C-alpha cells in the first residue's frame, strides 16, 4: 500500500510537467495572421503612387517631347556640317563651336544680350518700383492706371513690334513728325536705321513692353506688407523715405529678386521684338544670340552652326541662372541669421 502511494506521488510530478510544453508546441504551430492595418497601408501607398504616376506621366511626356528632345537634337546637329538635306554624315566635332565663338557677329550679339540684361534691370527696377509705390496708394482712377500700365505687356510681341516699327519710321513716323513740329530732328537714317542709336531704341521699346510686368509683381508684393508696420513707423516719427527704405524695400526683396531673375532670363532669350523691329541690323548693331542662330539656320542653312549657337545660348543662360540662384536667390530659402541666433541661447539654456 505504501509502495502504491509512493509510486503515485512520484508519478504525479512527471505527468504535470509535459502539459505546458504541449501548449507551447500548439501555439508555435499556429500560422501568423497578418494585421489588417498593414494591408490597408500597403494598398494606400500603391494607390497613391499610381495616382502620382497617372498625373505626372503626361506632363513628363510633354516635357520630354518639347524640351529634352529638342536639346538633344541641337546637340547632335552641333557636331555635324549639315545643310538640311540628307543624313548626318559629315562629322566635324567641335569645329562648329569654334566657328561660333570666333565669329565676331556672335560675340557682338552676346555683348548686346548682356547690355540688354543690365539695362532692363537698371531702368525697369526703379521705374517699376516707383510706379508700384504710387499706385499702391488710394487715389482716383487707380484701377484704370493699373490697366493702362499693364496693357503693353498683354499685347503680343508681333503687334507691339509692328506698332513701334511704324511709329519710329523716319520722315513720316509719328515720333519724327512730333519732333519736327517743335523744331527738333531725329537721326537721318531713322531711330532703327542708325547703328549708334538702334540698340538703345530697342531697349526703350522693351522697357515700354515689359515694365507692366514689374509693376504688377511689385504691387502684388506690396499687398503682403502689413499695415501695422507702417502705423508703428508713423508713431515713431519715421519719414516716408525712411519707411520705404527700412520696411517696404526689405520686405519686397524676394519679389524684386524674383523679377530680376525673370528679366535676366528673358533678356538672354530675346528674339521676337528685335527680329520685328530691326532683324538684327543695321550692320548687326542689334543682333542677339537668338537672332544669330535663327539667321544661320533659316537663311544660310547652316544648321550645324545654328545648333552650336543654340547650345552655347543654353549653357550661358543655365550658368547665369545657377549663379544667380546660388548667390542671390539662396537668401530667400535659407533660415535667417536672427532665427539661428535666437536658437543658440535656448540650446545653451537647456544644457
Domain boundaries, the chain: 109-296
Contact between residue 150 and residue 210 where contact means Cβ atoms under 8 Å apart: no
- pTM of the predicted model, to two decimals? 0.79
C-beta of residue 252 within 8 angstroms of C-beta of residue 136 = no
**Class of domain 109-296 (CATH, top level):** mainly alpha
Q: What is the pLDDT along the chain (351 residues), one digit of tens a residue?
A: 444 434 443 444 444 444 444 444 444 445 554 556 667 777 888 888 888 999 999 999 999 999 999 999 999 999 999 988 888 888 998 999 999 999 999 999 999 999 999 999 999 999 999 999 888 888 787 888 888 999 999 999 999 999 999 999 888 889 989 988 898 888 888 899 999 999 999 999 999 999 999 999 999 999 888 888 888 988 888 888 888 888 888 999 999 999 999 999 999 999 999 999 999 989 999 999 999 999 999 888 899 999 999 999 999 999 999 999 999 888 777 655 444 443 443 444 344
Amino acid at each position: 500500500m505504501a509502495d502504491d502511494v509512493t509510486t503515485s506521488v512520484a508519478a504525479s510530478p512527471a505527468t504535470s510537467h509535459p502539459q505546458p510544453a504541449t501548449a507551447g508546441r500548439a501555439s508555435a504551430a499556429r500560422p501568423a495572421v497578418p494585421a489588417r492595418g498593414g494591408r490597408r497601408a500597403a494598398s494606400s501607398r500603391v494607390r497613391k503612387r499610381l495616382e502620382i504616376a497617372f498625373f505626372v506621366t503626361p506632363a513628363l511626356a510633354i516635357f520630354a517631347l518639347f524640351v529634352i528632345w529638342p536639346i538633344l537634337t541641337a546637340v547632335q546637329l552641333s557636331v555635324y556640317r549639315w545643310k538640311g538635306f540628307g543624313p548626318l554624315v559629315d562629322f566635324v566635332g567641335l569645329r562648329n563651336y569654334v566657328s561660333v565663338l570666333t565669329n565676331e557677329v556672335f560675340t557682338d550679339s552676346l555683348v548686346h544680350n548682356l547690355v540688354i540684361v543690365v539695362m532692363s534691370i537698371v531702368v525697369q527696377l526703379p521705374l517699376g518700383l516707383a510706379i508700384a509705390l504710387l499706385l499702391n496708394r488710394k487715389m482716383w482712377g487707380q484701377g484704370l492706371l493699373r490697366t493702362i500700365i499693364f496693357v503693353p505687356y498683354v499685347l503680343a510681341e508681333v503687334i507691339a513690334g509692328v506698332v513701334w516699327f511704324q511709329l519710329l519710321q523716319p520722315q513720316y513716323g509719328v515720333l519724327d513728325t512730333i519732333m519736327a513740329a517743335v523744331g527738333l530732328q531725329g537721326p537721318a537714317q531713322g531711330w532703327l536705321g542708325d547703328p549708334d542709336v538702334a540698340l538703345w531704341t530697342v531697349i526703350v521699346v522693351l522697357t515700354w513692353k515689359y515694365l507692366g510686368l514689374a509693376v504688377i509683381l511689385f504691387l502684388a508684393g506690396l499687398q503682403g506688407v502689413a499695415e501695422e508696420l507702417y502705423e508703428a513707423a508713423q508713431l515713431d516719427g519715421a519719414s516716408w523715405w525712411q519707411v520705404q527704405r527700412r520696411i517696404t524695400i526689405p520686405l519686397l526683396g524676394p519679389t524684386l529678386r524674383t523679377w530680376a531673375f525673370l528679366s535676366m532670363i528673358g533678356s538672354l532669350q530675346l528674339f521676337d521684338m528685335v527680329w520685328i523691329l530691326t532683324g538684327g541690323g543695321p550692320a548687326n548693331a542689334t543682333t542677339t544670340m537668338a537672332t544669330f542662330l535663327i539667321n544661320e539656320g533659316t537663311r544660310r542653312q547652316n544648321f550645324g552652326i545654328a545648333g552650336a549657337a543654340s547650345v552655347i545660348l543654353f549653357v550661358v543662360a543655365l550658368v547665369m541662372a545657377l549663379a544667380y540662384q546660388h548667390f542671390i536667390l539662396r537668401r530667400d530659402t535659407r533660415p535667417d541669421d536672427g532665427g539661428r541666433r535666437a536658437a543658440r541661447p535656448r540650446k545653451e539654456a537647456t544644457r
